[in-house]
Every structure is written in structure tokens, then in C-alpha cells.
Structure 1
């Protein structure tokens, strides 16, 4: 169980970090202030500040987020709040401690009456026991200590998300899924090198198992199947289909060896039971292509293949009806991890690539609160020539978030029933 948990956290953690780094990188390039890079959700376990960004690890390791200035965030600072501020030599505020735990002699206790940390950059309030209010200028790079102790930088208006150009915001929103696709390509390319090649879909004979009909024939690794029973065979899948549909029946194979010579071979597939049905097998594996070009291209071709399969599944929701059984959440991912761990490094790398593609596609769905929903709002803004008001965008995002929460609860409960209660 410990191995399964560690494998789950490793794979899921890599996918999340890579996804969020996409948002982080393009936000930085656009001049957007990235206040926090978080792995996980919930209470903060650890934080480290470097440059303008605070990096945090939070308690629930099932996701993460990049906290960009002015992007779906609310300030903890409120009028009437008692805070402690640290001033520089020019009496400008360089730190605002909402947590109020800093007992240094350099801090000044203030009861806040008003503030503007976006444009005019000031903070007004009563100092200590004074009855009169005093206004302090706030540095553009002043720090804000939140209630949970997380240290963030204040966000002037020109460093906020909405101040970036429309193209920069679209790139920032798209960068997370893009990084997931890149990660999948790299994972499947690595997989091809680790396993020594990639399975060819050509009708070629691969490894032959001992004591099987294929081993007792003249078939050799690298030979090509031209036809079976007079029917042309053009791919590995077609060949497997014909063999499986004819258990115990003699099949006439038209073959071509590695020298280009043709020959015939009669083979009777063995009978195996699979899902209550008899299928035929002759004891051959798919041919492994071990060229460098085949290994490098596999990362792209397999990623594209999985994307096409996911889109086919999504299309079936509209043509064949939607079912929660067709979806899986973190519980399903964890439950599947046991089989992945048993497959070793090859299983983990393959699982990493597969999940990364899935996360990338799911995040591009045009659902508010997902990256795809945000991109849709960006497109609408481009068509209208002006952004949707922040209030309307907030309501749209809230609806999308509620939909996702309900969907996640349904999927999680369904996964629990499927993997643990049945």
C-alpha cells in the first residue's frame, strides 16, 4: 500500500507541477505577478519565498494552483482589521502582517480604516492608541503576511492578470494543458527507449512464444503476413482479429520473409477463454521497431492516438448518452496505480503519459473554472472588443466550479463503489 501511495503521489505530483509551471512561465513572461505557486490544496504545510513568488506545499496532494495577481483572488486585508506594519527608512510600508504574530520592535500596530494596494498604494489607520488616523505610502514590492503565515507580495494594478494583453492572457491560460501534452510526448518517448523499441502496427511477426502453434511452424521474427485465408492483411490489429475469431480452425497464411520471398503456412490457433468467449491465439507478439527514429516519433504518435481516443469518448457522450461510469477521478487513479506499480518503471512512465494527456484534454473543455472555460471567455472578449465584467465573470466561474464539485463528488462516489464496495 505504501508503494501504491508513493507512486500515486509521484505521478500525480509530476503532472500537476508541470501543468502549473506552464501557467507560471507564461505569466512571468507577460509581466504578471505570480504571488504563489502551490502544490496541493488546503492548509499550508511549508512555504519558501524566492523572488516575487512564494512556493507552498499544502495538505491535500490532489492538485495545485498558480496564484496570479488579480486573478480570481480576494485580499485578506479588510477595513477595521488590526495589523502590524514594518516601515522602511522613508517611513513607507514594506510589510503588512495580517497574522499579527510579529512582535518585533520595528513593527507598528495599526487599525486599518482604508487602503489601496493597487493604484494609489497607501494604507490609512489609527496607530496604536492614537485617535487620529495616519496615512502611509506602501512600496510597490511590499509584502503581505496572510492569516496562515503565507508571505505574498502586494499587486499593483499594472502587474495584475487583466493588465496583460489578450494574447498574453490566452497563452497563459493555454500553457497548462500545453505542458501536459509536452510531458506526455516526453514520457512516451522515454518509454520507447526504456522498453527497447515500439510495437509496430504492421502485419509483422514479433517475438514467438515457445510451445505454441507459431513456434511449431516456419514463421520467423520479422516475417510479414500478407493474407490469411485469402483475405489481405494490412495491419497487426487486422491479423489479431482474424486469428482471435477462428480458434481451433486451420488458417492458411500467405507470408513474406525478410528477403522478400513468399511462402505459405497452415496454422491452427489455440483456444483461450476471454470474458466468457473462446478466442484464438498462435503465440506471437507485435514486432518491435528499435530504430531511433521510431522511438522518437512514438512520443508524438502515441500522444495523438490517446487524444483521438479521448475525443471519441467525449463524442460518445452526445451520441450514446452520458454516464458517470465512463469517468474516473482520483480514487480510480489510485485504484489503478497498484497494477501500474506491479509493471515497474515501464508501467509508471506509461501511466504518467496517459494521465498527462487526459488532464490536458479535460482542462481544455469549455467549462467555466477550467482553462478551457477561461479561454472561451478570452475568445468572447476578442469578439466583443472588451472583457466581460468581473462580476459576471465571477458568477460564471462560480457556476462552473459548482458543476465541477458536483461532478467530482458523483465520480468519486462511483469510483468508491466500483473499486472498494463491490
Structure 2
């Protein structure tokens, strides 16, 4: 279900896992041994964190399977041309430079470099390049550019101003084994987490526009568009959405899994849980935050659709 779901444990009053006082009072000793609220803090935390962990594991498995079936795209991260007046020119890039690392992260192909740069607009990146056998360190800040995909969706991406002119035999898919595919799956999942957190931090600091936040309407729209590109693209989107759901649920907002973990951490420190009143207030605040976020995301979706209709 795109909108998510929940688990109501034995002894809970509602979906927020608020204990049902009447039900707890009427429980037998045997029932208390099996009720969620009577478990240790560690056990409750393990149960709650299992959901987001499952989301991350699903993404890793999907990405790993895609790498195993289709291989890893490989194109030499070589700079063939530098656009005049671009961020790359200002940083000192030259044709023939071979990019080795970005911020200490190894770059194995040109798509690897594109992926990092496109999600780092306005951020200063440190490049290590091989220039005729000599290692050179360059600092560049990708410029923000609006780009339209073939479906007419507008994306804000970072650009350096360098290009690659691969020959027909230059780009190929490198076969990978199970262990390497698993490693690449973990790396790709972490990349999605890292860039998502970076974007959220950018929204909070004002560096990024919040209109990129989408809700169920945009998810449905993008899913349909991606499905037309084939199953690999659809599975890749599924993995990204799974990471996003897992990450969202870990935010320390009461009502979400992260909020429950916050309560359990407080309980572990205090030696006793927060009062029922304090937890209820927290859940109400959490519900308000989630509802406002959904309203804002839906508003963005409607504006996005209106802009597309106007453009067409």
C-alpha cells in the first residue's frame, strides 16, 4: 500500500501503540507475559526498529539483484571537454583529466561521477584527478540547473560543465558476482540515505527548495512513468521508495517508529516511561506534524500537476 501501514500489538489501544489501560488491568499473568507493553525496553526497541531495517534490507536486495542481472555500467570517468564559464573551468579541470575520487569516495565510472555531482548542487566537492600520471586535487561547487526529463518533470540538479564523448565500445556493463553485487547494493542504499538527509538539511537551512517534496499523487505519477521504461527502472524506484519510507519512519517524531524509539530511550535513562499524559501530548504533536507534512506534500503534487497541464 503506497500510503503505508501499521501494527497494533496485543494490549495496545490504537495504532500509535498507546497502552489500553482497561485491557492491561484485565490481563491475566499469562497475557501479560505476551503483551507488548510488558516487554523489556530492549525488546520493544528491537521490534520497532525491525520495520525500518526491513525497508533498508529490501532496498539492498533489490539493488543487488539488479547489479547481478544487468551488471554495473562502466564508462571511464574521463573529462573530454570543459564548458567555458562553468564550475569545472573555475575549478581548473582540463580535458584529459581522469577523476579518481570525489570527497574521498572512489569513482569507477562516469555515471558514478554524474550521480554524485547531480545531487550536490551548491556543495563544495573535493576531486582527486589523474592528469598525465600526476595526481591533482581540485575543489568545485556544482551549479544548480533545472532540467526536464522526457516526461516533462522538472528536476533541480547540480552540474559541473564537463562532458564525456564515449565511443560505441567505451561503455559496457561489467558483470558482478553475488558478493560484489551485495556490496554495490549496500553502497547504493547508503547513497540514497545520504543524499536524502542532505536534501532535508538543505530544506531546513534554506539551500534547497521544499517544492521537491512529493506525496502519494506524485508517487503514483512517477511510478507510472517509470514503469513505461521497463522493469529494471521500476524495481530501482521501488528500492528508493523503500529507503525513503524506512528513513522517514526513523525520524524522532511521536507516532512514527523513531518517536517510539525516542520514548524508549527516555525510559531507559529515567528507569521508567513517561507519564501517559506526556506521551499523549507527544502523539498529538506527532500526528499534527505528519498531517501537515501530508497536506504540504499533496499541495506540492497539485501544483506540479497544474504546472504540467499549463505547459502542455
- Shorter-chain TM band: 0.5 to 0.7
Distance 1:280 1:116 in 2: 68
How far apart in 2 are the matches of 1:280 and 1:240?
A: 11
1:330 aligns with 2:219: no
Identify the residue that residue 264 of structure 2 maps to in structure 1.
Answer: 378
Is 1:170 paired with 2:56?
no
Greater mean alpha carbon deviation, residues 328-337 or residues 294-303: 294-303
Answering whether residue 93 of structure 2 is matched by residue 233 of structure 1, we say: no
Segments of 5+ residues of structure 2 without an aligned counterpart are 16-20, 81-92, 101-106, 115-129, 134-145, 149-158
Cα separation, 2, equivalents of 1:421 and 1:238: 30
Q: CA deviation at 1:348?
A: 1.4
Q: Which has the higher contact order (CA 8 A, sep 6+)?
A: 2
**Would you tell me which structure has more helix in proportion to its own residues?**
2
CA distance in 1, matches of 2:75, 2:246: 26
Is 1:294 matched with 2:183?
no
Q: CA separation in 2, counterparts of 1:369 and 1:300? A: 28
Paired position in structure 2 for 1:282: 165
Match of 1:198 among 40, 49, 72: 72
Whether the aligned pair in 2 keeps the contact of 1:324 and 1:411 (CA below 8 Å) is no
CA distances 1:21-69 after superposition (whole Å, capped 9, x unpaired): xxxxxxxxxxxxxxxxxxxxxxxxxxxxxxxxxxxxxxxxx22211112
Structure 2 match to 1:160: 35
Query: Corresponding residue for 2:300?
Result: 414
**Inter-partner Cα distance in structure 2 for 1:239 and 1:392:** 47
Aligned residues: CA RMSD: 3.6
Determine the C-alpha separation between the residues in 2 that align with 1:192 and 1:238: 14
Q: CA deviation at 1:351?
A: 0.8
Contact between 1:324 and 1:410, CA under 8 Å: does it hold in 2? no
Larger radius of gyration: 1
For normalisation by structure 1, the TM-score amounts to 0.50
Q: Deviations over 1:362-412 (max 9, x none)?
A: 111111111111111111111111101122212211111111112101211
Task: Give yes or no for contact 1:199–1:288 (8 Å, CA) kept in 2.
Answer: yes
Aligned equivalents of 1:185, 1:239: Cα separation in 2: 18
- In the TM superposition, 1:86-235 aligns within 5 A as 117-120=23-26, 156-195=31-70, 197-200=71-74, 203=77, 229=95, 231-234=97-100, 235=107
Contact kept? 2:74, 2:110, Cα under 8 Å: no
Q: TM-score, normalising length from structure 2? A: 0.66
Tell me how far 1:304 sits from its aligned partner: 1.1
CA pair 233-157 structure 1, distance change in 2 beyond 3 A: closer
- The answer (yes or no) to whether the contact 1:341–1:348 under 8 Å persists in 2 is yes
Looking at structure 1, the residues matched to 37 and 112 of structure 2 have their Cα atoms a distance apart, in angstroms, of 56
CA distance in 2 between counterparts of 1:369 and 1:337 reads: 27
CA distance in 2, matches of 1:348, 1:367: 30
- Cα deviation, residue 158, structure 1: 3.7
CA distance in 2, matches of 1:321, 1:368: 27
1:73 pairs with 5, 14, 26, which one? 14
Q: Would the aligned equivalents of 1:365 and 1:373 in 2 still touch at CA under 8 Å?
A: yes
Distance 1:239 1:306 in 2: 13
How many residue pairs get aligned? The number is 242
